[in-house]
Chain A
């Protein structure tokens, strides 16, 4: 499935979900069908793909989402191939660079502003959620270890 169709699928997906599982109030009242589970997974993977592109510096998706993650040519993946050294499983924790107790989203914004010299993004934005989805997905199977420095 192409990314374009999917990055902004949230609204459409919500409608599909309502059709498949009823109104939100009815959620979890019925057994899930394989089709429903597939849709849930698709919604997630579309965000992973979008986050993957953002993480690797794709300019078109940044333009579409109205974000500028870097002004130095650096992309997140240049220091974090396979989203390594992101350690999403260790947040929240005291983050030395920021000097405070921080979340993964705080650290993403710190990297955008400092090494990348980009423009900080809204912590609740589509771009942030997509980046978070990609980083978590790439680190799946890592041992949950919050607070570890």
Chain B
């Protein structure tokens, strides 16, 4: 661990540079307030327990035409008859995003629509998302991809990476999941076995699957070549674009190359899923914001939580609506971007170590699993 920390520190020094920070116009504030729609009486909330409190991270980009967009991700849908809770939560997020007033300019779905990549799961998710009438853009998660190597996903949602300009901002969607190393051919795995290993966050078999890849790095470089260095860029990715915790693929393995491409731009924001938790990080001029899942919260990793992250509260495992939700992002008239974590229960950020998802892990030392390293079963009981 000491060596890891040394390497991280050296990399940080190289990438950070002297006095290099996100654009100085980017003020960060946090505030907590009641959901506006509920304050206005909408939503039919009958008890205080259903009043979500929303925490806000404000980022200012400079003058822009105002607009809003929403992020939903990590619904991890099983077939409807297997898990109704996940369906209920995805449906709730979609209804709330659709009810935003003024409406969103677009919705970004940030990956892991399905749990095991089956056509039934992906079709179910597509059906639920049809209730959002605004433009929708999609990036894939690993759970969507490795049953049929993205065939069904691409049939439904198109190319996994893309770019568009909207009211002075260049938006880029990256595919960070499809370039995993081949761990299945030599082991003669079925498609279901391949998917099963990919769907196990703490598995040992799929390895460092998260990455952007040489070809997509070149595409990213070309895509940004024509963009002024002082104009805002927002990059959507399923995995975070920095090294948080590689054993759970809370990173992309080529994050250094990504940083090099983004480094000349003064205002870059990465919005990512996969980690199912509140996260905030800065490296050089790039800021990264981790989004909530609608399905369930992951615990914070035992190491690597960015120092700039104000950790979320410990979730109540008995309440399926705690620790999860979606995000509402608003470019307001002052050119500020509000990221509002719409968590469906009480507080988002922890105020004391006792209630913190990070503070809760004091004294905890963890080790990787063993059963999936055994030849020839690799995690299956035979």
Contact = CB atoms under 8 A, between A and B. Distances in A.
B317 A138 contact: no
A7 B317 CA distance: 30
B248 A81 contact: yes
Q: Chain B CB within 10 Å — which of A2, A50, A89, A140 has the most?
A: A2
A84 B276 CA distance: 15
A47 B377 CA distance: 17
Contact of A53 (B299, B361, B379): B379
Interface residues of A, number: 45
B164 interface: no
A114 B369 contact: no
Contacts of B17: none
Contacts of A115: 317-318, 320
A87 interface: yes
Given A3-B377, A49-B370, A72-B85, A81 B202 contact: yes
Interface residues of B, number: 40
A7 B382 CA distance: 11
B298 interface: yes
A56 interface: yes
B190 to A, nearest CB: 15
Interface string A75-105: 0011111111101011000000100000000
B360 to A, nearest CB: 7
Contacts of B367: 82, 137-141
Contacts of A25: none
A4 B380 CA distance: 10
B368 interface: yes
Interface string B203-246: 10000000000000000000000000000000000000000000
B368 A2 contact: no
A48 to B, nearest CB: 6
B interface, by DSSP: helix, strand, loop or mixed? loop
Contacts of B368: 82
A93 B82 CA distance: 34
Contacts of A53: 371, 379-381
A145 interface: yes
A84 B299 contact: yes
Nearest to A145: B363
Contacts of A111: 317
Contacts of A49: 370-371, 374
Contacts of A85: 299, 360-361, 364
B200 A3 contact: no
A77 B200 contact: yes
A142 B362 CA distance: 9
A91 B319 CA distance: 22
Contacts, number: 119
B141 to A, nearest CB: 14
A51 B379 CA distance: 11
Contacts of A82: 202, 247, 302, 366-369
Nearest to B298: A81
B276 to A, nearest CB: 10
B236 to A, nearest CB: 24
Contact of A3 (B82, B316, B381): B381
Interface string A38-51: 00000001001110
Interface string A41-78: 00001001110110010101100100000001110011
A77 B201 contact: yes
Contact of B371 (A56, A72, A83): A56
Contacts of B109: none
A143 interface: yes
B145 interface: no
A138 to B, nearest CB: 5
A15 to B, nearest CB: 24
B83 interface: yes
A82 B78 CA distance: 23
B361 to A, nearest CB: 7
A84 B361 contact: yes
Given A79-B299, A89-B363, A97-B318, A60 B83 contact: no
A29 interface: no
Contact of A60 (B364, B369, B381): B381
A58 B380 contact: yes
Contacts of B363: 89-90, 142-143, 145, 148
Nearest 3 A-B pairs (CB), nearest first? Answer: A81-B202, A52-B371, A141-B365
9 contacts: A52-B371, A60-B380, A79-B297, A81-B201, A87-B364, A97-B316, A97-B318, A115-B320, A142-B365
